Structure 1
Amino acid sequence: MEKKQLRRSLLNKRQLMLVEEWKQKSDRICTHLLTSTLFTQAKTILAYFSFRQEPDLSLLFDDSKIWGFPRCVGDSLYWHIWTPQDSLQIGVYGISEPHPHAPTIEPAEVDLIFVPCVACDYQGYRLGYGGGYYDRLLAAPEWANKTTIGIVFDFAYLPQLPIEPWDKPLSAVCTETGLIQIQN
């Protein structure tokens, strides 16, 4: 199946999840992350705010970590510090994001990145939303060696995805059934 069709099919399946099922599976993902050494040892984590029934990671967002969230500006992601006490604004794609004046995070400060995905495969490759934001981010030299965890529901964790030469595998994938570290 080509990327566009696969993306549409999986996004549709995600949208059809009942709210209770989405919440339960999101909570299980958070439990797996909370107990992983990748999470417990990280001080500064880049994450995302759930949009269109992406797995919801908000159970993790407390003051025990430094949290960074993206703002889409042009074709780049700018990362800003956010605390649960801070307000948000709605960005260009309708996604919640920090205010432009919030402090920024430098790549050297980041220990872990939670990557939103439409799907991931057993080799650690991801299918994104088609905008290339994370592809460009993860290909940049200052981000290339960061630990990355793709976050997907189990139905979107697939044996193999179509990949492009610029695709970079993730370090791990987390679904409601567990956290799988990828051997790259």
Structure 2
Amino acid sequence: MTQSVLSLPTRQQIRQQVRQRRRGLSARAQRLYARRACARALAYPPIAQARRLAVFLSFDGELNTRPLIDALWRNGQQVYLPVLHPFSRGNLLFVHYSPQTAMTHNVLNIAEPRLDVRAVLPLNKLDTIIVPMVAFDRTGQRLGMGGGFYDRTLQNWRQHGFTPVGYAHDCQQVEALPSESWDIPLPTIITPSRLWQW
């Protein structure tokens, strides 16, 4: 019993393994999976019917959100991107994003819109938030990069009234994740091959 508990991978080991797996996908596979996931996302009512959605810009082998963002724009839906809060460390703001938006890179070297307070939307005005992750398991538990940004954002999602939807490659699924009290499981995760719901 003790042996099996000791042999369970840590959160950091899972992050390393899954990020490596994700980065190992060929450019062709990435394009194919991005198209499949986009089609699945656009068929899901909380995304298809949303007026205002927060999406993330993919990096480090994440499932490419560009086809989804372009499709949302074509459908006349408003897209918002996460921006690191300048004064409240560990928190995110969501800023309107259009093809004309001026971009910058944050301290994590992730592209984000230049902060303009006029373009910030409060969480309770968002309909849906597309959530990135490093890994997920069969119960909807999500493992992020370790900064807790999305855990804080999702903390009271039901009260805010938006729907969180995970967006990931199939290869990011693991059997089970060690969870902490602050981890927020997701009600829905979209992968190229299926829609997971809990």
Q: TM-score normalised to the size of structure 1? A: 0.92
Paired residue for 1:47? 55
Matches within 5 A, 1:1-184: 1-61=9-69, 62-63=73-74, 64-73=76-85, 74-101=89-116, 103-140=119-156, 145-182=161-198
Change over 3 Å in CA distance of 1:142–1:174 after alignment to 2:
closer
- % identity of equivalent residues: 28
The structure that is helix-richer by fraction is: 2
- Number of aligned pairs? 182
Cα distance in 2, alignment partners of residues 142 and 33 from structure 1: 21
Q: TM-score normalised to the size of structure 2? A: 0.86
Alpha-carbon deviation of 1:85?
2.7
Q: Which segments of structure 1 move beyond 6 Å, counting only runs of 4 or more?
A: none
Alpha-carbon deviation of 1:142?
7.8
Q: Name the Cα RMSD after superposition.
A: 1.7
Read off the aligned partner of 1:119 and give its amino acid letter.
A
Alpha-carbon deviation of 1:84?
2.2
Paired residue for 2:3? none
Alpha-carbon deviation of 1:89?
1.2
* Larger CA deviation: 154-163 vs 141-150: 141-150
Instruction: After superposition, give the CA deviation of every residue in 1:17-47 in whole Å (9 maximum; x if it has no partner).
Output: 1111111111111110011112111111111
Instruction: After superposition, give the CA deviation of every residue in 1:66-96 in whole Å (9 maximum; x if it has no partner).
Output: 1110111332111101112323111111111
Alpha-carbon deviation of 1:104?
0.3
SS in 2 for 1:158: coil
* Larger CA deviation: 1-10 vs 66-75: 66-75
Alpha-carbon deviation of 1:168?
1.4
Change over 3 Å in CA distance of 1:144–1:162 after alignment to 2:
farther
Q: Which runs of 5+ in 1 are unaligned?
A: none
Cα distance in 2, alignment partners of residues 35 and 131 from structure 1: 31
Change over 3 Å in CA distance of 1:159–1:79 after alignment to 2:
same
Task: Answer with 1 or 2: which has the greater Rg.
Answer: 2
Change over 3 Å in CA distance of 1:89–1:112 after alignment to 2:
same
Change over 3 Å in CA distance of 1:53–1:99 after alignment to 2:
same
Paired residue for 2:5? none
CA contact (8 A) 2:96 2:119 kept: yes
Q: Which runs of 5+ in 2 are unaligned?
A: 1-8
The structure that is strand-richer by fraction is: 1
CA contact (8 A) 1:77 1:137 kept: yes
SS in 2 for 1:79: strand
CA contact (8 A) 2:124 2:161 kept: no
Read off the aligned partner of 2:92 and give its amino acid letter.
L
